[in-house]
Structure 1
């Protein structure tokens, strides 16, 4: 038996939890603030656009995952459908983009659990959070999914508390939901690109393709359930936030849900929301490290990363070296990066990843409308992101391209 293959331990429920935990923590607690800064209350339109692109990406990813149920996601799909370079570029984009997402999630934990904490304690605590979750992942994927189940359940309960507090004891106003005068298409598209960061977790299921049972049935169902549930949650929370605070306050808040609850007649519930936000970010970080380490595993098997990272632990059945390497890089980034900058950079790299996924799905033949819309949407949203995110993302992708060229004989 090969020592670098992963066991199929996950069912549909496990896979849905991985997708939910990746998305719930990634979006509700972080992406609305920069999106509101870009589009004002027009962020609801941005959310709808991001959801359409995410649906296309999810459909394309599901079709490809059925054909290629291996660890690596679009790295594998691009390699098999478009050629080695495109698979490599997708994998590189995913690894660097989602490593930035991991750092963003570690910082989100601190934004809600320890607001106002300065350096060096902020950096040291972020490193401790990453180290703890890396140790949990090291013990096996089943332990990780059980932990994710608890975390996402508590997070959804906290979101429910926030929504009820605002609707019952707050001062929501429907007129705050209307797009402000002067909100243009450029701002809405930028908001959609930033909010895409919140949806990207659904394909974490596809990157675990080698570890799910009956992938042809499990992966499409898990992606559809996770994306549908999260879209409903996002729409409700976004509307409640805007109605309570208005877009300018949402844009300026590092922890908008906590601010919204604090502004109600039930401010004593604010610690509950802060705790739920921190737990959601922990769940997202847990799932993100799972996905990134599996892509590192696949790329290491093909020699695009050091082959030693392809090792699978004989007892725990996880790519332990890949997980330790990812954890170390994430800890370093979390100690030094800015949360909003990490979101923009991550969105650019991951939109590149999904553009390649849609191009790969196009080559399957039938049902080409969805991958065509998905590809166009990814390119448009990537180009609409803040200039700093576009330049940084393009530069890092260029480094990857140079590295690929240098390794070719």
Structure 2
């Protein structure tokens, strides 16, 4: 490896519209497409498809807010830069750490999820599962060391495969679709549709991740918005198609909801369908992990430049000009998290609550920044307010994990005050 140096110059602009769209789609389409359509259908019955329609519309303001801010303020700091510009360094730094401390937990969870789908087919035990998860993370880290142009090209290929496989899954299920499966339409009442909509929110988180790559967009003023609109449309269509066919084939209920996609595919393709879903799961986890690792490494770099993170977080590779300081930090965290999971100290279901809370807090910060920074943009102002009301209303339903961002903020504020006292002493 070439010698690493701390740099202050920005990153090379290598991401064009196709790569931007692929990064957005990869960040947003996560394991939710494998789990949530069946769970939502079990909760609300055929009426769950209305929840998918409503959520596809409601998340558009959130995507637009992130896209408009990226177009105006392209930066590796992403949402933290938007908040810093709107409300000052202190709050910008807090939001930056929210995001940075989400990925070291979230990425290992994704890699273990992908490895688990293979484990079901190959009969793996825990050792093989966690070894495969470590290999997934290592491969993505290496791609990001080589450069975002390499990672983005891989992302484009992976996302194309994901889209192709999901289309195959939907088409393969068509012969088994029946109008009879849509009655009764709302067996659990209309309130269940609202509850299902809250569940679907998790399928649409991810727009904030790509804001951290906006400094590397070619023509961000144009491509950031185009990227958001294209990816939002594609994501909504894919989710709705899978959800619709899940209901149309009644591939949910009686303990099979969590594996609805696999059940639906196997109606026509048999055991081969299980492999299709396993490959899809692996691709999805790689794509999402790639987007978030790239984003987190860059926020680590940005925080180092702001002197609110260790100086070595700002290391750039001398040849590839990639944020290897941030990637090294992530690597160390991944090792710890995988070890904790492997040892059974905490399970995936509990652990995933923590990054969910910090992602939520990041969105709230981004929406607040949008209200101030986009106040002279009619659509941007409306999108920011809509997103803020939506996310704040859902935040209390996170439960105890909602305290995680508050603890991070409190510790960071105490550390900042301590540093300020040292400087004035």
TM > 0.5? yes
Structure 2 match to 1:373: 386
SS at match of 1:312: strand
Structure 2 match to 1:321: 325
Whether the aligned pair in 1 keeps the contact of 2:36 and 2:200 (CA below 8 Å) is yes
**In the superposition, relative to structure 1, how do residues 143 and 124 fare at CA in structure 2: closer, same or farther (>3 Å)?**
same
- Aligned residue among 184, 191, 194 for 1:188: 194
Structure 2 match to 1:146: 153
297-306 or 136-145, larger mean C-alpha shift:
297-306
Please state how far the C-alpha of 1:399 moved relative to its aligned partner. Answer: 3.0
Length, aligned pairs only: 402
User: 1:238 and 2:243 equivalent?
Assistant: yes
294-303 or 1-10, larger mean C-alpha shift:
1-10
Partners of 2:250 and 2:72 in 1: CA distance = 46
Please state how far the C-alpha of 1:104 moved relative to its aligned partner. Answer: 3.0
| TM-superposition CA deviations, 1:299-338 (whole Å, max 9, x none) | 2221222121111111112101201222332343345154
Alpha carbon RMSD of aligned pairs, Å? 2.7
| TM-superposition CA deviations, 1:253-295 (whole Å, max 9, x none) | 2x43122222446443331232122112211111111112112
| TM-superposition CA deviations, 1:98-147 (whole Å, max 9, x none) | 44332332122123222264423322321222122112211111110111
Structure 2 match to 1:352: 361
- Aligned residue among 73, 78, 81 for 1:73: 78
Partners of 1:197 and 1:68 in 2: CA distance = 26
Please state how far the C-alpha of 1:341 moved relative to its aligned partner. Answer: 3.9
Gaps spanning 5+ residues in structure 1: where? Answer: none
Structure 2 match to 1:54: 59
Q: How does 1:2-21 map to 2 (within 5 A)?
A: 2-21=7-26
Partners of 1:106 and 1:70 in 2: CA distance = 27
Structure 2 match to 1:290: 294
Partners of 1:246 and 1:346 in 2: CA distance = 30
SS at match of 1:120: helix
Whether the aligned pair in 2 keeps the contact of 1:97 and 1:350 (CA below 8 Å) is yes
Q: How does 1:88-237 map to 2 (within 5 A)?
A: 88-115=93-120, 117-169=124-176, 173-175=180-182, 178-182=185-189, 184=191, 188-189=194-195, 191-237=196-242
SS at match of 1:87: helix
Whether the aligned pair in 1 keeps the contact of 2:34 and 2:281 (CA below 8 Å) is yes
Please state how far the C-alpha of 1:230 moved relative to its aligned partner. Answer: 0.5
Partners of 1:287 and 1:65 in 2: CA distance = 16
Partners of 1:346 and 1:47 in 2: CA distance = 24
Structure 2 match to 1:392: 401
Whether the aligned pair in 1 keeps the contact of 2:209 and 2:292 (CA below 8 Å) is yes
Partners of 1:250 and 1:151 in 2: CA distance = 30
Please state how far the C-alpha of 1:183 moved relative to its aligned partner. Answer: 6.0
Partners of 2:404 and 2:80 in 1: CA distance = 20
Structure 1 match to 2:262: 258
Computing the radius of gyration from Cα coordinates, the structure with the larger value is 2
Structure 2 match to 1:248: 253
SS at match of 1:248: coil
Whether the aligned pair in 2 keeps the contact of 1:24 and 1:152 (CA below 8 Å) is no
Please state how far the C-alpha of 1:378 moved relative to its aligned partner. Answer: 0.6
